[in-house]
Each structure stands twice: as C-alpha cells, then as structure tokens.
A and B are shown apart, each in its own frame.
Chain A
Amino acid sequence: MANLFEHKDRRVLPNWRSFGNSVVLGELNSFQKERIIPLGEVSIESYILDWKINKTVIHASDLLSAAIVNNFKDNKDVGDAANYILKNTEKSSKSQISLASKILNKDEIIDLTTPFNSVTLNGLHDFTNTQPVWQKIKETKQNINLYPYNPIFYVELSRYYSTLGLKDKAINAMKVALHLGSGNRFILRCATRLFAHYDELEYAHDFLRRNPLTNFDPWLISAEISIATIRKRTSKFIKKGLELINSRNISPFNFTELASSIGTVELLSGSTKKSRELFSKSMISPNDNSLAQLEWASQKDTHLVINPESFAVKLNYEALALDNFQNNKFDLAIDNAARWFIDMPFSKRPILFGSNLASTILKDQNKSIAFLNAGLISHPNDPQLLNNYAYALALDNKAKEALEQLNKIKSDAPIEGSTKICLTATRGLAFFRSGFQDFGRKLYLEAIEETRNINNPTLNWIAILNYAREEILSGSEYIDQVMATVSKIPKEVKDIEVKILRDDVMQAHENYKLKPK
C-alpha cells in the first residue's frame, strides 16, 4: 500500500526558494516600521537644468543616475532623458541604455506565478531532466570563482545540490554560506530548512538559538520555535515572539509565520482559544507558509475555516493542493501538487501527496509514477518513494517491476515504522499480482498486525482494505472472512482515502458476487 501523506506533522519551517523569488515574496524585507535616521530632502533640479541646457547622452544619463539614486523615476524630464538615450543608442554605453530601459519600465511587476500557470502534471516529465540543474550549478560555481565571499551564491548552490539529492555537497555549500553570512535572515532561514530536511535538527536549532538576530527578527524566531517544536522542546523565544506580535511595531506580514508557529504550539498543547487567536493574526497578511499551516490546522480544529483562494498570496500551491483535496477537487489538487513540487523541488511532501492521490484516489498509476520519477531525483532510493512507486506499478499489474523497485531499497537504510509496514504490504500486493497469493497474504497479514501494534487505526484500515481488494480480485476462499473484517471499519470515518478504498472494495465485492462462478 502507498505511504500515507502525513497530514499530522506540519510545522512552520521556512520555505526555501531562490534568492530572487524570496525577495519578490517580501520575506526578506526589513520589519522595522521606520528608518533610524530619516532620509533628508533631495532635489535633482540641477541635473534637470544641465540636461535641458546641454541635451547630450551624458547629461541625460547623469540625470538618470540622480533619478534612480534619489527616487525620482516618475519625473517627466527623467522620462524624456531616458527616451533620448534610447533614441541614441549608438552614442550610449550598455549601462546607459539599460538604466534608461529600467527607468521607463518602472511599473513592470514581477509575477512569480507566471512560470507556474501553465504547469500541469504532464509537465513533470520535464523535471526529470537534470541537465538544467547541472547547468545552473556550473553558472553558480563560475560566480563563486569571481566572488568567493558572496554567501548567496553558496545558498543557491546548496539548493541545486539538494534538488539533485546530493546531500553532502548541499550541506557543505550551506555551511560555507553560514560561515560567510551568519547574520543574515535569508541564509539562516535557508540553512534551517536544509538541515531540517536532512534531519539535522540539533545543528539547525543550535545556530538559530545562538544567533543574535533570533532575539528580534520575527522570521527567525518563528523558525526557531518550529524547530524546537519538532524536537519536542519548549522554545525560549515564545514569550519574545508574543511580545513582538502584540507590540504593533512590526507589520502583520512580518509576523505571519511567527503567529502561525506559536499558534501551532498552542494547538498541539490543546489551547484552542489561544491557537485560534494566533492563527487569526497570522491571516491578517499571510504568506504561502502560514496559509498552508492554517489549512493543515483546520483539519485538527474545525473552527479554523480557511479558503486559500480568498487571499492574494503568491506561490500558495501547498495550501491550494490541500484545500482542493479536502473539497474533493482531486484533479485541481494534483495540478497544484505539481506546482508545489516545481516551486520546491527538494521537498518530498508534494511527491508523497501527489503520488498517493494519483494511485489511491484517482487510480491513475501513470500520474503517480510521474510524480515519483520526479521525486526520486532529489530523494534517490528513498524507501517511502520507492514503496509508492512499487505500489503504483503493482496496481498496474507490473508486479515484476514493482518487486525490482522494492529491491532497490538498501538493507541498511533507516526506515521509519509506518514505512516498514507499507513496504511489507506493498510486497504482499506484488506477490498477489504475481500469482503468489500465499506469500502475498502472509505479508499483508503481517502488515495488518503491525498497524495494530503501532496503534494506527487509519493505516490499519487502509492495509485491510488493500488486502481485501486483492483477495476479491484473486477470487480466494478468504473473501467472506476478510469482508467481515472490512465491515468492522467505522462507517463515519473521515479519511478520504479510507472512504474511497472502502467504496472500491465494496464495488469489487459486488462485481465478484455477480460474476458467474
């Protein structure tokens, strides 16, 4: 059976995007409301006068310099000077031309969503081609050769390596970035995400806790609280974070993740009143992360209602995918999962979400395999992904290929309890579809027993339903016995996957009964 998409453990870890995208999203803006030393009044009249008297390219570009530095880009004479340069490009330098163009295109707004709008699941095939990522790595290394002390280049390099699943290289590059720019929010947040991604939580927690910036930067306090929560520690920054949220000295967008992460702590500790209040504050001006967190929290606390589409938040594909899923809009959910993955190609969550949805609910194994192929680039030989891959292949009656995928899992690979159970069940499925029902049955029963041992009813029901379907399809003598077990699954169960699987099993059983014996 497919690995469950874990709805239960989301935390407000910083999302990691390219430097350019992080800038456009506003996550690196200063959070203080006013400048410590206010800007003085400036005039560019002398430059305008010079330009009007002389009317040459050089006087025009001197005026443009004054305009861009002193923020007079809207001035009419500045526009005239820019046009003059563009009409005399043969007398102008590259920088003069490019500055003139920039000034005239001042209203150009970078829309980050444009590259994502056309993305559908079919486009995921393009992302299995690693060549463009290698090209980016090459270019970033060239930049590093030129500017070896620029930490942003190392963060970008680390991101490309993590996209390709090159853990050690990704970590090394990020450590260099941390060394060069430990006093910077972008670097600290990206490093937090990377080290959390590779389960090096203690390291991430250490550099966050010790960094002086974490004492007052809401974006870093939020990251620290989330890491502490994952480590089951109480963060010493919660009080400070609450003070910042209530201080009215920072804008709501700057505390959205902070309110969301403290809201999560309160929700997990059962303080629903406080949690609702904080989640409500996080929604005054949310970002994609706080929006996705509330979407997750709304499954824990039904009083938290959210419609992600009602917020003008860019790159909110995770929240949209989860919301579509909850509202049974599965086709939309799968396309948004594809966008979510392309936005964060190092992340496993969109792959698990998409493949599980495609295999179990949409019953489209090709779609599931498309997700998994893309995900296996950043997570080669990952047991969870290989399990889902084998599950999709087996359901598609490609039992041999399914077993081959399962055999790729290294014997010494650390495998989490529920994944082990899934692997056992999937192997059982593959044996059923290979005609070795006895082996398959043995493995399924073993998996079902294990789900009871770990006290995970949802996983238990899913295992039973998968097993029941295979017994029915093979027409075995155990059908009545297994259907009796199926009938014990509570009717009012909310899990969509369980509901759909049960409907499938009931339908298969009906069909079986109608079939001439």
Chain B
Amino acid sequence: MTDNAAHNLLNLTLQTGWFVKEKIEKTDNQTGSFFSVCYKVEKDGEICFLKAYDFAKFLTISIPGSKIVDVMNEMLTAYQYERDLSEYCKNRHVTKVSFVKEAGEEVVMGYAISIVPYLIFDMADGDIRKKLDFSAKLDYAWRLKSLHEISVGLKQLHTIEVSHQDLKPSNILVFDTDSKIGDLGRSMCRDIDGPYNKRAFTGDNTYAPPEIMYGYYEKDWLKRVFATDSYLLGSLIVFYFSGISMSALLRKHIPDSFSWEVWTGTFDELKVYLEDGFAKALIEFEGNINQIEFKQELKTLVEYLCHPFPEKRGHPRSIVCAGSNYNLERFVTMLDVLKRKAELIIKQ
C-alpha cells in the first residue's frame, strides 16, 4: 500500500488548501468504496472527510469475471457520477443529503500513477448505528426526529426525480443532532446517465424489497425506483425500533419453502403467503415498540411503506388519488406529527 499515491496523502496540503491530518481505517468494504482510501482533512478550522480514489488498485487486484478495463471504467464512472449528482442535487434545494463539498485531483509525484482524484464531504459523527441503543432508555423523540429528517431528504430527492436506492442504516449519517442521507453513489437520476440506471435495483440486497428478491420487476422506471425507496424508508423505521431490517423481519416470518432463495414459481403465486408473512412481521414489529402511544402509528407507517406488493405500497390516499402512489408527502407529515408528540411527552 505504501507505494500507492492514494495511500500516501497524510500530512500533505492539497492544492485546494485542505490539510490531510489523519487516515481513517476502512469500515466499509462495499463495491463503491473498494477503490477508496479515507482521510480526515482540515481547512480554516473545519474538519471534513476525504474519499481518495485509488486508481492504482486495479493494477494490483483481479476481480473474478471482470476485465481491468471494465473495473477502471466503473471506478471512473462512479467518481464522476457521485460528483455530478451531488452538484445536481445541491443546486435544487436538497438539504437533508450529505453532498460532495469539494471535488479535486492531487498529483503526488514518485508513484506509477500519481494522480489521486478525491471527494470531500462534511464530517459526520458516524452512521446511525452508533447512536441507536435498545436498552431501556429509548429516546423516541430523537429517533423520530432523525426519521423525519431522512423522510424529508428522500422526498427532496424524489422531487427532482432522484431515487436513492441504497437507504440503509450505514448510509444515515449523524451530524451532532441532525441526520442526513449519505452515499448517493448508488442513486439513480432521470436526468444524469449514471452507471446503474439500467439496473432493476442498485442497492444492498439486505434491504431490498421482496419483489426485487423474487425477480419481479415493474417495467415503469419511476414506479419501480420510487416503490423501492418507499420500502427502504419503511425498512429504516423498522430498523430504528427493532434493530433488524424489514426484509429480515419478513424473511423470518416466511416459511423456508417460500423464501427468495428457494421459491421458483411466479411472484403472483406467492402473494397470499407473502401477505401472511407480512402480517406476522408487523405484529412482531409492534412488539418492539415500548411506548404505547406510538405503536399503532408506527405500525401503520411500516404497513403502508413496506407492503410486499409494490402496487399496494404507499399511502392509501395517494394510491386512490391521481399522481404517484409513492408520494412521500403524507409520510413526512406523519413522522413530523409523531416527532412532535414524542417531544411533548419528554417536556411533560
């Protein structure tokens, strides 16, 4: 690693004025960050997070089934896409998403590939998993505030026809008391030709909605990607209160013979069993909510957002009205009301 430019930025002052003060050990091994090295950087007293792209890595590794040219192309596209998408969102009043603060390239002499492209982000305290605690002292107000902020962020993205696709606990970043959506790398945008736009699902399987797991894809792009985001938001609510993903909860209540790794029939044949498993999953989810005032509302939210059939997903009023079934406006309001209710309980 030491003969690699991206790994040797420590103590350098970049052309953009940022001083690289600390290397951060990798805690994420996903494809998007496989070629990246992370640092803590400082400028004018502000500390930020730098993601350096390790262009030399493709020379040293080989991924089975992939050609080096394809891997290199994927890395370049990922870098450009994240940078451009960030810019696109920033200019369209999206506030609850963690953007690229600055993008640049640094030339570090003395290495085979001396150019290191990088992206700088605001430094978060960590992802949401560092904040969640399921011991008796549950802070519902904090959780609901965070969920409300995330729903606002997702709604803002949807308004400009961007679908996040990878909303999961490790992508919810906490900045002091605020929460923001992180990692736009897997997002899909109608107006920007991204690396994953042609895929049915670009996020993490662990959080994927059941229709994706069973290989049933809605052909309409908007419907498909927004239905996925709705499910992911619901799954996040499940995680905040139960500590496991909605898909895990659902899988737990589906007999093995109907699971996505076993089932070979059609999605339609499975609907009754999925509905049954979903009903049982909701009952279990409800059992995790200790404060009785929130049981019904939270269960209803999850029921609407995570329905296993995309055509039934969304707020019932949105489904019967003109416009998208997956309009998040009502959910933003519901979470806002719940947040305020929880704050009032604390004040009393």
Contacts and interface: CB of A to CB of B under 8 A. Distances in A.
Interface of A: 19, 23-24, 26, 28-37, 39, 42, 44-47, 49-50, 53-54, 56-59, 61-62, 64-66, 68-71, 90-96, 98-99, 102, 143, 146-147, 149-152, 181, 183-187, 213
A23 B248 contact: no
Nearest to B65: A41
A91 B138 CA distance: 11
B243 A23 contact: no
A94 B284 contact: yes
Contact of B244 (A54, A56, A65): A65
B177 interface: no
Contact of B206 (A36, A57, A66): A66
B160 interface: no
Contacts of B257: 23, 26, 28-30
A19 B255 CA distance: 11
A42 B272 contact: no
Contact of A69 (B170, B245, B283, B288): B245
A219 to B, nearest CB: 11
A64 B248 contact: yes
B232 to A, nearest CB: 13
Closest 5 CB pairs of A and B: A30-B265, A37-B215, A65-B248, A95-B242, A65-B245
Given A30-B263, A183-B271, 20 more contacts: A23-B258, A24-B255, A33-B264, A47-B206, A50-B27, A58-B243, A64-B244, A65-B206, A69-B208, A71-B261, A95-B249, A96-B244, A98-B284, A99-B244, A99-B248, A143-B279, A146-B283, A150-B275, A150-B276, A186-B272
Contact of B30 (A46, A62, A91, A151): A46
6 contacts: A30-B264, A31-B265, A32-B264, A95-B242, A149-B275, A150-B275
Nearest to A47: B206
B288 A94 contact: yes
Contacts of A31: 264-265
A42 B241 CA distance: 26
Contact of B284 (A26, A35, A71, A95): A95
Contacts of A92: 134, 243
Which of B208, B266, B272, B285 has the most CB atoms of chain A within a 10 A radius of its CB?
A: B272
A37 B264 CA distance: 9
B249 A152 contact: no
Contact of B134 (A91, A181, A187): A91
Nearest to A147: B279
B205 interface: yes
B241 to A, nearest CB: 7
Given A26-B257, A69-B206, A186-B272, A45 B29 contact: yes
B14 to A, nearest CB: 27
B337 to A, nearest CB: 23
Given A34-B264, A64-B244, A19 B27 contact: no
A436 to B, nearest CB: 59
Interface residues of B, number: 54
B129 interface: yes
Nearest to B135: A91
Given A53-B27, A65-B247, A68-B248, A35 B129 contact: no
Contacts of B285: 95
Contact of A58 (B129, B136, B262): B129
B215 A36 contact: yes
A93 B29 contact: no
Which of B28, B133, B242, B260 has the most CB atoms of chain A within a 10 A radius of its CB?
A: B242
A466 to B, nearest CB: 50
A69 B251 contact: yes
B104 interface: no
A187 B269 contact: no
Which of A32, A34, A64, A147 has the most CB atoms of chain B within a 10 A radius of its CB?
A: A147
Contacts of B27: 49-50, 53-54
Interface of B: 25-30, 129-130, 132-136, 169-170, 205-206, 208, 213, 215, 241-245, 247-249, 251-252, 255, 257-266, 268-269, 271-273, 275-276, 279, 283-285, 287-288
A102 B215 CA distance: 26
Contacts of B249: 95
Contacts of B206: 44, 47, 62, 65-66, 69-70
Given A31-B265, A69-B206, A99 B252 contact: yes
Contacts of B263: 30, 35
A93 B288 contact: yes
Contacts of B247: 65, 69
B264 A95 contact: no
B224 to A, nearest CB: 14
B288 A184 contact: no
A213 B268 CA distance: 11
A469 B288 CA distance: 70
A98 B288 CA distance: 11
Contacts of A39: 215, 260-261
Contacts of A151: 272, 275
B279 to A, nearest CB: 4
Contacts of A147: 275, 279
Contacts of B241: 93
A68 B251 contact: yes
Contacts of B269: 30, 183-185, 213
B340 to A, nearest CB: 24
Which of B132, B243, B263, B284 has the most CB atoms of chain A within a 10 A radius of its CB?
A: B243
A92 B244 CA distance: 11
A102 B288 CA distance: 17
A31 B266 CA distance: 10
A306 B120 CA distance: 75
A94 B264 CA distance: 32
A244 B275 CA distance: 29
A213 to B, nearest CB: 8
B248 to A, nearest CB: 4
A187 to B, nearest CB: 7
Contact of B276 (A19, A64, A69): A19
A60 B273 CA distance: 29
B208 to A, nearest CB: 8
B244 A61 contact: yes
A94 B287 contact: yes
B134 A46 contact: no
A204 B77 CA distance: 59
Contacts of B258: 23, 28
Nearest to B276: A152
B266 to A, nearest CB: 8
A91 B288 contact: no
B245 A70 contact: no
B271 A184 contact: yes
Contacts of B262: 29-30
A95 B215 contact: no
A94 B242 contact: yes
Given A37-B215, A68-B251, A93 B264 contact: no
Contacts of B248: 64-66, 68-69, 99
